[in-house]
Structure 1
Amino acid sequence: MAPTIKPTCLLMTCAGILTFAASQAVAGDFARITSESEFNSLVVGKKLTLDENYVTVKKNGTLKGKFGGKTLKGNWAWRDGYWCRTLTTHSKNTDCQLWTVSGNQHKVTRDRGNGKTFTYVAN
């Protein structure tokens, strides 16, 4: 006698597969920013928010915003396909980041694409 599959089990399996496929499609919608001119077009001058924090990247190579309720300032440059920023407040370190974009969402991965990832929303 052939085993029977309960409709509830089949439905849950299909829902799980569809959810996974949809999440992969969404993840695949992000495109890497590969040049400084593309970065300038997509990012510079926009207010980028992350929860209660925000930053604005300026054309003159500076950035400003608020992080953790405190003023955030620094400088930036495009180097070897990465956006490199040096903070003059907070941790005062340099970090080169990989940026990808999908609509108004900017996914950023620290440490040349090897570190923590977070997503800004551009306003």
Structure 2
Amino acid sequence: MPYKSRVYTTLTALSLALPAQAQQDVVTSQADFIKLVSGKTLTRPLVKIQVRPDGSIAGTGAAWDVTGTWSWQGNYFCRDLYWGGDALGYNCQEVRFEGGRIRFTSDKGQGDSAAFRLN
């Protein structure tokens, strides 16, 4: 798989599949989500992203810029993301948190997941 394709897979869930962990707390409010990510950088190998309280997303995935916007709808984090100028599309995601890690699961918790450290 080409390098950019591997990073793309990770960013589409913002998506590497991870085993579910029953002890993770589901984040269901925008206020709780902002408390978790405000002032933090979400990191995983080759990816560093900031999800800002103002609704913007910025960072890098491999050598390419990541930009976008987000909002909270119902119990879900919804984002519209661009990576290296390519649209990754709009998706609403379940958010879980445990011990300094945050996990996004695409398609309202039914799709691929990506976990990040909060630094």
Normalising by structure 2, we get a TM-score of 0.76
Question: Which residue of 2 is the match for residue 90 of structure 1?
Answer: 86
Aligned partner of 2:97 among 78, 97, 101 = 101
For 1:22-41, list aligned pairs within 5 A: 27-41=21-35
Question: Which residue of 2 is the match for residue 111 of structure 1?
Answer: 107
Which structure has the greater CA radius of gyration? 1
Aligned partner of 1:65 among 59, 65, 68 = 59
Q: Percent identity?
A: 27
Unaligned runs of 5+ in 2: 1-18
Paired letter, 1:114: Q
**2:35 matches 1:48:** no
Unaligned runs of 5+ in 1: 1-23
Aligned partner of 1:79 among 73, 83, 95 = 73
Asked which structure has the greater RCO (Cα within 8 Å, sep 6+), the reply is 2
Paired letter, 2:71: A
Deviations 1:36-90 (Å, cap 9, x if unpaired)?
0000111232100111111101111101010131000001000011000112443
> 1:92: how far off?
4.1
RMSD: 1.8
Which runs of 4 or more aligned residues in structure 1 lie more than 6 Å from their structure 2 counterparts after TM superposition? none
Return the alpha-carbon distance in structure 1 between the equivalents of residues 24 and 88 of structure 2: 29
Number of aligned residue pairs: 99
For 1:12-27, list aligned pairs within 5 A: 27=21
More helix by share: 1
